[in-house]
Amino acid sequence: MRWRKGQRSSNLDDRRFEGGRRRLPLPGGGRAGVGVGGVVVLLMLSLLFGQDFMSLLNVGLGGGAALPSATGPTAGVASAEEENTVDFVSFVLDDLQATWTRVLPRLGQRYLETRLVLFRDAIDSACGFASAASGPFYCPGDARVYIDLAFFEELHRRFGAPGDFAQAYVLAHEVGHHVQNVLGIESQVRQLQRSQPSLQNELSVMMELQADCFAGVWGYSAAQREMLERGDVEEGLNAAAAIGDDRIQRQSTGRVNPESFTHGSSQQRMQWFRQGLDTGDPNGCDTYSRLSQ
């Protein structure tokens, strides 16, 4: 992917060297989206204890009293490679937001910028306390994206999805959730999940696939501006496939249970990412249409 190093984004919060602060969960608050690592952990716990820990994916974590961590603020030094990754995600973040500032008025809505929080190991947010095992997530409670950069190494090494455009896809997907929040889609889906519990997982899949499609809308814009290089699209599609529910379940348990999907199959994730890439039209990202049929 063609990009240039420059001044880091004013919407980047670098908290990699801070101690975490744990927040006591109280009912009625926001919810942090659980990433790939968190899904794997919950699947393993479900099998080990014979309980449905996957249902926790639909339980919100609220704000509460903040408790200082045992470690407190810590000093640290990042490698040159990691600092280059920070520069890269900073560039992609600004490009994503500039793109949505241009695109969203087509839907009759002004875009409101999100912030990207970089952390290590664990982080507190308005959606609760999250560990790196949760993977990247978006918190509607504070309208911020959270990423532990170690996830990119896991994406490459564990899930076989290397490349800078694979990393850009991950960030574009999370910013896609922010777009849903700005449009009011996120709150509407959460309300539907509460009123129709039997549709919780299906609605979660629809929302995740729409975020994939929104990521593709940005990819289309990047391609039009000749930012993509040979192989970039394949990197993005490979990343989307690598974190499909069916592939993760097969890797972790040897079995696939479509009823427990929360993010969509590999095929679905590639399909909707490709939809955005091919059209560049957010109106084509309606993954919910079958609900009204």
- As a whole number of Å, the end-to-end CA separation of the chain is 40
Q: Is the pTM of this model over 0.75?
A: yes
Residue 4 resides in a domain: no
Closest CA to 39 of 267, 205, 248: 248
pLDDT of residue 71: 37
Residue 33 lies in a domain: yes
Total domains, the chain: 1
Q: Answer whether residue 109 is part of any domain.
A: yes
In tens, the pLDDT along 156-169 reads 999 999 999 999 99
Q: Residue 227: what pLDDT?
A: 98
Query: Rounded to an integer, what distance in angstroms lies between the CA atom of residue 161 and that of residue 171?
Result: 14
Length of the chain: 293
pLDDT digits (tens, 9 = 90+) for 67-124: 333 333 344 678 999 999 999 999 999 999 999 999 999 999 999 999 999 999 999 9
Residue 1 is assigned to a structural domain of this protein: no
Name the DSSP class of 67.
E
- Whether 241 maps to a domain, the answer reads yes
Cα–Cα distance for residue pair 131/122, rounded to 1 Å: 4
Residue-range definition of the domain harbouring residue 25: 12-288
Residue 6 forms part of a structural domain: no
- Weakly modelled stretches of the chain, pLDDT under 70: 19-76, 292-293
- The answer as to whether 57 is a domain residue is yes
Question: CA 275 → CA 56, 214, 271, distances in Å?
Answer: 30, 9, 6
